[in-house]
Amino acid sequence: MAEDANAPKTETLQRGWVSLANRIMAGLMVFLAVCWVLSVPAYLGVAFYQEQLLALVLGLAGAVVFLGTSWRGERRSDPPLFDIAAAILFLGVMGYVALEYQSFLVAAATRPLGMIVLSWIVVLGVLEALRRRTGWMLFLIIVAFCIYGMVAHLVPSPLTGRQLQLDFLTVYLAFDPSAVLGMPLSVASTIVVIFILFGEVLFCTGGGQFFTDLAMAMVGRRRGGAAKIAVLSSALFGSISGSAVSNVATTGLVTIPLMRRAGYKSTDAGAIEAVASTGGQFMPPIMGAAAFLMVEFLNINYTTVVLAALIPAMLYYIALFVQVHLMAERDNIEVVEADLPRLGLVLRQGWHFFVPFVLLIVFLFQFNMSAERAALYSAGAMLVIGLVKPYRDQKASMADTVNSFARAGLNTVELITIVAAAGFVIGVLNATGGGFAVTLALVQLGGGNLIALLLIGALTCIILGMGMPTAGVYVLLAALVAPAIVETGVEPIAAHMFVLYFGMMSMITPPIALACFAAATLTKASPLMTGVAAVRLGWVAYIVPFLFVFSPSLLMVGETSDIAISVVTAILGVFLITIGVVGFYRIRLGLVFRTAFFAAGLATLTPANAMPYGTLVDLCGILGGAALLAGCYYQQRRGAAVQSIQNAS
């Protein structure tokens, strides 16, 4: 009896110990990143390599994974002794690497036995942490590249690479700044984590609730308001979180029941939420982690990426918003009878949440400040405001501040493991010359035809992205597919945006559409049918990437007049195509009318500088679209008049 009585206490103590340890290590990750961004080592007069910081962050993230995730990939609070030992070993090795990194650089050429042993611990530890957090697909892809590093010289042309010895490969992957301690891990550890902290500070002060209330107040009382709330709130929330699945899980708890009560089918409700949440990953000003990786791959300013993403993101949400509006009119979906907040009251209570975003934009565009420092200063301003200004009785406290560090770190752990493993891919391609080989193979496969290469690249992006987080997908695609597209003469930022968009669209593309699976758990609908509906709703993201490859004006590249014309025609084109997709504008449309709307919209959507006689094509599309809209208006008025006569008689 005494043993039974003590068992629950032991479990509680163990659960509390594991949780506390993970929160401390996760918070320490963020604290180290903040110190690095604020240049604390330089102020203290301490010479500190960035790779030393990355080793510490990776060690802490790996330890959190081994303690908190079982070998089956399940979250748990009672790790066995083996996993506790693995966490201590991995953290200890990475701490030793950080402490002795300068001597490691010197010894890398001779590769002593001790260094080889440590390199195996690092490589296997990263791979196992990756498998536990993301599953088998990405793990097997990374392992395949590691194997390629050993047998690249035996692979048939054009994929033949340089021969590498096993001891050289493991030491190189574990310690070289071009591999695991390279650019992807640097971006995640010093930039992305700061933006995640920004989001956590915003949420702990009530910002998440404010943006949901704002969306409900703005569009909730209009026809189809439940779906419009989902679109708007997911766009606002997603621009902060940068994660499609967590966006669905957070905003979907509110929006999906509202849509079901309003009359939307379960598959449509789940698809609307999934598509709206996925778009948040490229919604400025705070985009997903892949945007910061793009900054480093292309060696450009973050503001350039934000401006490039602005028009495609706008077209994406315009298309989705118009679709849910037309669907509501077509299906006679009424306004949900709910206690919706008033816009004036929401703005009076939460106006201060706009302050950090304004500061972020000013820091980025006016003062040309680095993205991570701008986000950190904006988060600090939000915290100060949140400590004194409540929103709906929710006010931040110092405990919330400490917890926001821990939550930000825990939310970054999976990304850290992904980008660390992705560093293996970049390292292998650099060491073997395989990157050039893959580029050559893709160009040859496309036969020198850009359209064929883009189609191959889009298919590759979607296939590689199935079941994988967006950041991991982008790193692979940026190393494998984007260089081949750039080789054909495409603007580098257009090529990288292309692979980013199609990598993200794997989140809503069947058969493995993670965002749709998350939404389907809330709607109890078929994930596959939800994915099919999501593809229809997110159609614009499958077309626009091809357009900005041929016309970078949609990425804010070029003359102002060309950009303005492209934006106006693109919006009109999106509107016309959406009518064709939904099959309704004032009246239900038959196949002929839908096809005509689609053709007129495609002609208008295509930028004038993307093809010969492009201006004439745009003009024909605009005139044709105007005629079709006028025809629908006339048919509606005629039908209303006939109905009025019949009712009178």
Task: Please spell the DSSP secondary structure of 199-247, one letter per residue.
Answer: HHHHHHTTHHHHHHHHHHHHHTTSTTHHHHHHHHHHHHHHHHH--HHHH
Name the 3-class secondary structure at 251.
Answer: helix
166-175 vs 113-134: helix crossing angle, rounded to 10: 60
Note whether 270 and 523 are within 8 A (CB): yes
Does 612 reside within a domain?
A: yes
Does 179 reside within a domain?
A: yes
- CA distance to 109, 204, 343, per residue, from 209 (Å): 55, 10, 14
Give the pLDDT confidence of 611-634 residue by residue, as tens digits: 778 889 999 999 999 999 999 999
Does 160 reside within a domain?
A: yes
CA pair distance 515, 521, nearest whole angstrom: 10
More confident residue, 207 or 95: 95
Mean pLDDT of the chain: 87
Answer with the one of 128, 154, 186 that is the final residue of a domain.
Answer: 186
Locate 63 and state its tokens: 């330890």
Does 504 reside within a domain?
A: no
Note whether 291 and 246 are within 8 A (CB): no
Containing structural domain, residue 161? 18-186
Does 542 reside within a domain?
A: no
Does 592 reside within a domain?
A: yes
Locate 315 and state its tokens: 């077209």
Does 36 reside within a domain?
A: yes
- Give the whole-number percent of the chain exceeding pLDDT 90: 46
Name the 3-class secondary structure at 526.
Answer: coil
pLDDT score of 1 more than 80:
no
pLDDT score of 104 more than 90:
no
Note whether 582 and 575 are within 8 A (CB): no
Does 238 reside within a domain?
A: no
CA pair distance 368, 168, nearest whole angstrom: 41
Q: Specify the pTM.
A: 0.86
- Look at residue 68 in the predicted model and tell me its pLDDT: 92
Residue 587 parent element (H or E): strand 587-588
pLDDT score of 591 more than 50:
yes
CA pair distance 152, 146, nearest whole angstrom: 10
Answer with the one of 186, 214, 243 that is the final residue of a domain.
Answer: 186
CA pair distance 424, 46, nearest whole angstrom: 30
Give the pLDDT confidence of 446-475 residue by residue, as tens digits: 777 888 888 888 888 888 777 677 777 888
Q: How many CB atoms lie within 10 A of CB 165?
A: 11
- Look at residue 649 in the predicted model and tell me its pLDDT: 54
- Look at residue 9 in the predicted model and tell me its pLDDT: 38
- Look at residue 614 in the predicted model and tell me its pLDDT: 80
Report the amino acid identity of residue 192. Answer: V
Answer with the one of 186, 221, 251 that is the final residue of a domain.
Answer: 186
Give the pLDDT confidence of 507-525 residue by residue, as tens digits: 898 877 888 988 998 898 9
**Which of 226, 287, 282 has its CA nearest to residue 258?**
226
Mean pLDDT of 328-352: 85
**Which of 289, 290, 259 has its CA nearest to residue 274?**
259
Count of domains forming the chain: 2
Give the pLDDT confidence of 602-612 residue by residue, as tens digits: 999 988 777 77
Note whether 410 and 22 are within 8 A (CB): yes
CA pair distance 103, 1, nearest whole angstrom: 57
- Look at residue 641 in the predicted model and tell me its pLDDT: 65
